[in-house]
Amino acid sequence: MITDLHRIGIKFLTARGDDIPLTDFIPIFHAWIQEGKLEDVMIDVAEYSHVPAGPGTMLIAHEGNYAIDETGNRRGFVYYSKQEVSGDNLADRLAVVCRKNLAACKLLEAEDTFKDRLAFDFGRIEIFFNDRLNGPNSDETWQAFEPVLKSFMARLYPNTDFEARYETGDPRERFSVSVSLQDDAASAEDLLARL
């Protein structure tokens, strides 16, 4: 049942910055831990630059994992929850996960190291479920999730058209939906204000 889902992930693809070495993110994440920049209990940095199309450089937290991620050969910033997420329903929980991701993206874009070199396209979003029990990669999940997605997107981008694309593809892969906006995307700050 997707109503029981808590292992939710959101990825914002990069608008620029794909050429920045993954190892350049290591000191940034360490500094975030040092300075307590994020609301989660941040634990450590894990580095997988040696693995192609992998989870990249990760900031491991108790509540979930943050990463400059290259899964699917698409670089973006990802956050996925590994614990129960607050919220009465899936749309609320999705908003919590999204808010955490946006907060990290905003910080990253503001880092001096990446000034003018790194930006995220908040109009290109991937949403996925790390839970094959409650959210298998199937049309049924998509049918159940589509109204939730609409409700969530109405909050994130009110009065803006978007296109959601779900393809089962390899059924073993986790359930994943790509969302793209018809109009220009908002900034992380604006989106955070809406959540």
Partner 1 sequence: MTTWKETLKDEMPAELAQEIDTFETQIGLKKQGKIDDKLFAETRLRRGAYGQRYDNGQRHDGVETRELHYPTAATKGPDTLWDAPGMMRIKIPFGGMNAEQMDVMADLAEEYSDAICHVTTRQDIQLHYIHIDDTPDLQRRLAAVGITTREACGNGVRNVTACPISGVCNDESFDVTPYSKAMAFFLLGHPDTQDFGRKFKVAFSGCKGKACGLTNIHDLGFIARKKMVDGEEKRGFEMYVGGGLGAVPYEAKPFDEFVPETEILPLAQAISRVFARLGEKRNRGRARIKFLIDKIGIDEFRRLVLAEREILPHDERWTGYLDDVRAWEETPVKEPAELTTGVSDAQFETWRATNIYRQKQKGYTTVTVALPLGDLTSWQMRQLADIARKYCGDNVRLTVEQNIVLRWVAEADLPAVYRELEHVGLAQPGAGTIFDVVSCPGTDTCKLGISSSRGLAGELHERLATRYQQFDSAIQGLRIKISGCFNSCGQHHLADLGFYGVSRKVGGRTVPHFRVVLGGQWENNGGSYGLTVGAVPSKRVPDFVDRITEKYLAEREGEQESFQAFIQRFGKRELKKVLDEFSAVPPYEMDPSYYSDWRDPREYSITDIGVGECAGEVVSRIDFDLQNAERLYFEAQLQHEEGNYQKADETAFQAMVVAAGGLVRLENQDVPDEADKVVPEFRKRFYDTGLFHDKYAGGKFAEYLFNRYEDTNREYTADKVRLLLEETQLFIEAAHACNTRLIEQASAERKAKLDKD
What are the residues binding partner 1 (CB under 8 A)?
A: 1, 4, 7, 23, 26-27, 30, 33-34, 41, 43-55, 58, 60, 62, 65, 71-72, 82-83, 130-134, 170, 172-174
Tell me whether residue 50 or residue 115 sits nearer to partner 1 (CB atom): 50
Nearest to 25 by CA among 62, 66, 61, 83: 66
Closer by beta carbon to partner 1, 23 or else 182? 23
Q: Whole-angstrom Cα distance, residue 81 to residue 95?
A: 12
How far CA 175 is from CA of 3, 61, 85, 111, 180, in Å, comes to 15, 23, 18, 32, 17
Distance CA 77, CA 1 (A): 27
Q: Least distance in Å: CB of 117 to partner 1?
A: 19
**Nearer to partner 1 (CB atom), residue 60 or residue 105:** 60
Helix extents (H) in the chain: 25-35, 90-110, 139-156, 188-194
Q: Please, what is the minimum distance in Å from the beta carbon of residue 84 to partner 1?
A: 10
Least separation in angstroms between CB 93 and partner 1: 15
Q: Which residue, 70 or 109, is less far from partner 1 as judged by CB? A: 70
Shortest CB 50 distance to partner 1, Å: 4
Q: What is the amino acid identity at position 166?
A: Y
